[in-house]
Chain A
Amino acid sequence: MAKIIVVTSGKGGVGKTTSSAAIGTGIAMRGFKTVIIDFDIGLRNLDLIMGCERRVVYDFVNVINGEANLKQAMIKDKRIDTLFILPASQTRDKDALSKEGVERILNELAQEFDYIICDSPAGIESGAMMALYFADEAVVVTNPEVSSVRDSDRILGMLSSKSRRAEQGLPGIKEHLLLTRYNPERVVKGEMLSVEDVGEILAIKLLGVIPESQAVLNASNSGQPVILDQDSDAGQAYLDTVARLLGEEVPFRFLNVEKKGLLKRIFGG
């Protein structure tokens, strides 16, 4: 039985697509057959981050409307052979998704895949609701600042009241907190909320902390999920995150300010 994981946040620009790409790739690297679905209809980004934008022929909406089948629309990753991407439509809007259509496709994918990652659009409208409705688990991506935390709280409320599991009285969606763009130096200066602050407000289990890193932007621009850049701090933090998502106990890293060595002080970090 496939596990459906939604990557969501409420607020835009916090790193949902980057995290979807990294987590999906990380799970696939462990040998699980994984598909990442881009629910952000009209603002197609996942294919860019995954570096497969020029291979998009058919999309999610085409499959829902019966204009193409899943085999035609899914793009097989060139780096990891258990990883697939189902891109969003760039020309339609979010109302093109129907609950019945999404359910039919998820059921079809569940026959074949171990993990289905749903990359949610920002906001709390129909597109985001569609992405989270069928989820078994949720990764709530949050930046350490108040508006992002507030929006995450709102999405957590939706997860516990508007999802299929809530409506059918099933056990609730398993919620994970993924803190991204974390900068320990700014936390020390009091310019950013700390892991503890965010954890206390949202009161859900911490899945991972991704440090603010130049590697993320580089990865996005080159169409390589950042988790493949295993020399970078962000890449390693995503590897830890995936391990925890699969149930392993891994200590948290990159939470404290790194002490600079003498050479780094002289020549710059």
Chain B
Amino acid sequence: MSDHSFELKGSLFPLSVLYCQDLSAAAVKTQLQQKLAQAPAFFYRAPVVINVESATQAPDFEAIAEVFKELELVLVGVCGASSELKKAAQAAGLAALQLSKSKTPAKEVKEPETKAEAVVAAVMETKVVEQNIRSGQQIYAKGADLVIRGTVGAGAEVIADGNIHIYGTLRGKAIAGAAGDNQKRVFCHKLEAELISIAGSYWLSDSLQGEYWGKSACIGLQDDKLVLADLL
């Protein structure tokens, strides 16, 4: 059985951090007094940490601690301290806290790795379907281009985050750039589509009638407008 009467556990608490260029006791006192005058109740007995990153030499921590006591604030410790300043702070009975933003060497090594991953993810996969897509069937190429070696029947849907290539007739719906990329396009050998959508904008067959109906075509977006062009 574990003993719950005594435990030492890590927890996170919000602490106010004081940033001050001049860390002499007199300067800290003047500036704190000004700040407290704006909202005396808000900072009453508030725990405060002093950021000493900009300090070139050790401030008089004991004098500063006196100022805090006087103004009814609780000085908990310092952060961003060099090893020399840490010693001085500890000597004055203050805790030396680590800044969460401080860059440790381990993190610097990690950064190039994440960049490499991002490059890999940007390369589109291709999903190839070697059959006709029948009415009622739905094909989705997630994060990929889609190639259909067949016909997409009326009532069928082909969807891709990338481009869609259809080597047969497109009679159903084709939805390219489903993830929102408006640079994606639909290519088909014979255009008789019910609907074509690129990055959320869509057109029904009525808007596709014309020069390219029943012929090969490449359909893309330009300034939010549907642009049909020759396949070659």
Please list the residues of chain A having a beta carbon within 8 angstroms of any beta carbon in chain B.
124, 150-151, 153-154, 156-158, 160-161, 201, 203
Contacts and interface: CB of A to CB of B under 8 A. Distances in A.
Nearest to A146: B154
Interface stretch (B51-59, B87-95, B133-141): B133-141
Contact of B137 (A124, A151, A161, A203): A161
A176 to B, nearest CB: 15
Contact of A203 (B135, B136, B151): B151
B135 A157 contact: yes
A142 to B, nearest CB: 13
A150 B132 contact: no
A135 B220 CA distance: 42
10 contacts: A124-B136, A153-B136, A154-B134, A157-B156, A158-B134, A158-B136, A160-B134, A201-B153, A201-B154, A201-B171
A158 B155 CA distance: 13
B135 A153 contact: yes
A201 B150 CA distance: 11
A157 B156 CA distance: 9
A150 B194 CA distance: 13
Interface in B109-147: 131-137
Most buried by A among B133, B154, B168: B154
Contacts of B136: 124, 153-154, 157-158
Question: Looking at chain B, what size class is its interface with the partner chain?
Answer: 10 to 19
Contacts of A157: 133-137, 153, 156
B131 to A, nearest CB: 7
Contacts of B156: 153, 157
Contacts of B154: 150, 153, 201
A153 B150 CA distance: 14
Contacts of B155: 150, 153-154
A158 B135 CA distance: 9
Contacts of A150: 135, 154-155
A88 B171 CA distance: 38
Instruction: Describe B's contact surface by its main secondary structure.
Output: loop
A147 to B, nearest CB: 11
Contacts of A153: 134-136, 153-156
A207 B156 CA distance: 25
Nearest to B172: A153
B159 to A, nearest CB: 16
Nearest to A153: B135
B78 to A, nearest CB: 67
Nearest to A157: B134
Nearest to A149: B154
A8 to B, nearest CB: 13
A203 B168 CA distance: 10
Contacts of A154: 134-136, 155
Contacts of A156: 132, 134
**Nearest 8 A-B pairs (CB), nearest first?**
A157-B134, A153-B135, A154-B135, A157-B137, A154-B136, A153-B153, A153-B134, A156-B134
A160 B156 CA distance: 14
Nearest to B137: A157
A157 B133 CA distance: 7
Contacts of B135: 150-151, 153-154, 157
A109 to B, nearest CB: 29
A203 B190 CA distance: 14
Given A151-B135, A154-B135, 7 more contacts: A150-B154, A153-B134, A154-B134, A160-B131, A161-B137, A201-B154, A203-B150
Contacts of B131: 160
Contacts of A124: 136
Nearest to B133: A157
A265 to B, nearest CB: 39
A59 to B, nearest CB: 31
Interface string B149-189: 01101111000000000001001000000000000000000
A78 B207 CA distance: 60
